[in-house]
Structure 1
Amino acid sequence: MTRDSLAPQAYWDQWIEHSHKRIETMLKKSKEPSGDPRYRPQYFFEIAREYWQLMFERYSRGDSVSELTQYFPGLLDAWEESERLGTEVFSPQQQISRRSWITNLDKYILCFWLTGLALALEIPDEQWQRLTALMGNEGEDVLLDRIIASRDHGRAIGTALCHPKPYARLLDAINALPSDQPRILRQFVENWYAELDRPTKKEGVTAIYDRPYWYGFDELIEGGAYFGFWCVEAVAAVKVFQLDDSLCLGLPHYPGDLLRGPDTTLQEVDELADHVTKTNIPPVRRSLLKRLFGRE
Structure 2
Amino acid sequence: MIRANRGDSAYWKGWVTYGEESICQAKMHASTSPGDPSYEPQYLFTLMQKHLHQMLRLYSAGNAVAQMTAYFPALLDAWDRSKRLGAEQWDEDEQYTRNAWRVNYDHYIVCFWLVGLALALEIPDQQWEQLLTLVGNEGEDRLLDRIIASRSPQRRIGDVLLYPKPYARLLKAIDDQPDQRASALLDFVRHWYGEVGAGARSGVGKQATAFKHPYWYRYGDENFEGGAYFGRWCVEAVAAVKAFGLDDRLCLGQKHYPQALLHPETLPAQQSLEAKPEERRGFWSRLFNRKSG
TM-score by structure 2 length?
0.87
CA 1:2–1:200 in structure 2 vs 1: closer, same or farther (change >3 Å)? closer
Report the equivalent of 2:87.
87
Distance change >3 Å, CA 58–CA 200, structure 1 → 2: closer
Partners of 1:180 and 1:80 in 2: how far apart? 40
**Distance in 2 separating the partners of 1:176 and 1:257:** 25
Task: For 2:206, give the aligned amino acid.
Answer: T
Q: CA deviation at 1:261?
A: 3.2
Query: 1:9 maps to which residue?
Result: 9
Measured in 1, the distance between the counterparts of 2:140 and 2:203 equals 21
Alignment of 1:1-296 (within 5 A): 1-198=1-198, 201=201, 205-207=205-207, 208=209, 209-219=211-221, 220-262=223-265
Q: CA deviation at 1:32?
A: 2.5
Give, in angstroms, the shift of residue 210 of structure 1: 4.4
2:247 is aligned with what amino acid?
D
Tell me, in whole angstroms, the C-alpha distance in 2 between the residues paired with 1:20 and 1:250.
29
Q: 4+ residue stretches of structure 1 with deviation over 4 A?
A: 199-204
- Cα distance in 2 between the residues matched to 1:73 and 1:53: 15
Q: CA deviation at 1:65?
A: 0.6
Does structure 2 conserve the Cα–Cα contact (< 8 Å) formed by 1:199 and 1:210? no
Q: Displacement, 1:33?
A: 3.5
Q: 1:274 corresponds to which residue?
A: none
Alignment length (residue pairs)? 264
Query: Could you tell me which amino acid in structure 1 is paired with residue 77 of structure 2?
Result: D
- The change in CA–CA distance for 1:199 and 1:27 in structure 2 (over 3 A counts) is closer
Percent sequence identity is: 49
The 2-side partners of 1:108 and 1:92 are apart by 19
RMSD: 1.7
Distance 1:45 1:174, change over 3 A: same
Alignment-mate amino acid for residue 175 of structure 2: N
Aligned 8 A contact 2:163 2:200 in 1: no
Q: CA deviation at 1:183?
A: 1.0
Q: 1:137–1:215: structure 2 CA closer, same or farther, 3 Å change rule?
A: same
Q: For residue 127 of structure 2, what is the amino acid of its counterpart? A: Q
Secondary structure of the 1:166 match is helix
**Residue in structure 1 matched with residue 290 of structure 2 by the alignment:** none
TM-score by length of 1: 0.86
CA contact (8 A) 1:232 1:255 kept: yes
CA contact (8 A) 1:105 1:211 kept: no
Q: Which letter does structure 1 place at the counterpart of 2:220?
A: D
Residue 211 of structure 1 and its aligned partner are, at CA, apart by 1.9
